[in-house]
Amino acid sequence: MFAYRGKTALVTGASAGIGAEFARALAARGSDVILVARSQERLRALADELARDFGVRAEVIAADLTRADAARDLYAEAEVRGLTVDLLINNAGFGTHGPFETLAPARDHAEVMLNVAAVVDLTHLFLPAMLKRGDGAVINVASTASFQPVPYMAVYGATKAFVLSFSEALWAECRGRGVRVLALCPGTTATEFFDVVGTQDAGRGDRRQAHPRAGGGHGAARAGARPALRCRRRGQLPAGADGAPGAAKCHGAGDGTHDAPAPGSVGHLATRLALPHSR
């Protein structure tokens, strides 16, 4: 079981979407959070919300993780602030869409830097201390695009296939050493992802409309998501449409002290299906 209270989680891409919902779900469990994204203003607003609603410490570190030295600078800043990262959530990422030859090379390069290089670099920096303590977790946000080539999103699909393979390999290496590694593979989710891609054609499947949290939550509607979320653990394949055996789902467990996100919402995705079991 993973104890959240008194621990610190670092969430990249925390200014919106799944990253922001991860931060809320973690704060609701009593975890302090380090919020990382480019927009300091949006991060500060979220940090204020989490500190007010849950009484946790919420640190803001603005960073552009497409830069080659960004992960190292982020790690150094966390060290300066005396922050120990117990849970690393590599969530930041974006996609490009269109015939490969028509896409801007610089944009695709930035996509690889964020979706792949930043994930590897941050894991290199924060994982060793977790292993030394014998306690911690890494959640890498991949995609259902991880499981097959994606024409017209060739680079995005390849980066997410890397994230899934990387996560499975690290899971095996960390097994029995007190550190959990998990790949989160969301399906089509109503976040700002499509605004960044620049087209709604990048989505496959239905995107549910925004849902308020059950019981009112924070009084705000959250973006919806079909919980077509699967992970592969222990080298097993994800369940297919035919319900193939050997599939493993990611299950979370709340402590019952906070409002439950509505089923199908981004908050439900982040809370119920990705976070390690709590105690």
Place of tokens 């308020």: 212
Place of tokens 């994606």: 150
What span, in angstroms and rounded, lies between the C-alpha atoms of 77 and 10? 12
Q: Is 152 among the residues known to form the active site? A: no
Within 8 A by CB and 6+ apart from 153, the residues are 95, 96, 97, 145, 202
Kindly state the helix (H) or strand (E) to which residue 90 belongs, with its residue range.
strand 87-90
Within 8 A by CB and 6+ apart from 199, the residues are 97
What span, in angstroms and rounded, lies between the C-alpha atoms of 27 and 8? 10
What span, in angstroms and rounded, lies between the C-alpha atoms of 148 and 247? 17
What span, in angstroms and rounded, lies between the C-alpha atoms of 162 and 82? 32
Kindly state the helix (H) or strand (E) to which residue 249 belongs, with its residue range.
none
Q: Which of 4, 75, 152, 156 is catalytic?
A: 156
Residue 228's alpha-carbon distances to 121, 161, 256, in angstroms, are 28, 17, 24
Place of tokens 């609603």: 53
User: Which residues are part of the catalytic machinery?
Assistant: 156
